[in-house]
Amino acid sequence: MSGSDTELGGRRPLVVIMSGAGISTDSGIPDYRGPNGLWRRDPEAEKLVTYTYYMADPEIRKRSWRMRRDGPALRARPNTAHEAVARLERSGTPVRVITQNVDGLHQLAGVPARKVLELHGSARSVQCTRCKARSGMEEALARVDAGDPDPACEACGGILKSATVMFGESLDPAVLGEAVAVTKACDLFIAVGTSLQVHPAAALAGLAADHGARLVIVNAEPTPYDDRADELVREPIGTALSALLDRIAAP
């Protein structure tokens, strides 16, 4: 596979990369559903990111703020897989990233923010559940460090949460709509580090195949869409994705 455009009437192929938690494990951020995933190690942790529990229980919120403060996400740095995606984008290949991750590492690696669709939001911002005002996560965590274990919105006093899509919340329809549009239009769809079990995001892999895209799945564990894939890659993501994307970027 290369960046040749001879089969596409002279245009370069549109590549969509859908990334899941597995692309960020080499950055020190654990995945959720893998053999050593967070939900398997601590089933109670799922309550911390479930909207109904979070809104109803101040103790859950306090634990959530401590998790955000002490967790690795905000300190993590892009790894070789994120850098490979950014390198492909810099090569001139049309690229869009659809990510299920909330860590912002694709942007930190150099992919322009306008080319990254964050299906599940961003852990680098907070949002008021009442007035919808947004501000930086670092600012909220500074308030936690200063002794406010459950900081409220400074504008209206409402409950603050990370600007992520919790369990029980719907995806942003505008972001999902754009993800569907680029999926239908792409020539190559690469699902990397995702179990393809969380819908509606998982269905994008099948949608790409239905619209004629070549489907490549890079994941350590089997997924429900493996039988639709043109290529399956089971090797470690850091090395496998770099090799795959460098081939695509080659003239």
Active site residue 120: yes
Which of helix, strand or coil describes residue 229? coil
User: What is the dihedral angle through the alpha carbons of 208, 171, 219, 26, rounded to the nearest 10 degrees?
Assistant: 140
Distance (Å, rounded) from C-alpha 175 to C-alpha 203? 15
Q: For residue 169, give the nearest of 54, 40, 59 by alpha carbon.
A: 54
Here the tokens at position 250 are 């080659």
Q: Which residues lie across from 118 on neighbouring strands?
A: 99
Q: Per the residue annotation, which of 82, 106, 120, 211 is the catalytic one?
A: 120
Distance (Å, rounded) from C-alpha 83 to C-alpha 176? 25
How many helices and strands, by DSSP H and E, does the chain display?
Answer: 9, 9
C-beta of residue 212 within 8 angstroms of C-beta of residue 218 = no
Residues catalogued as catalytic: 120
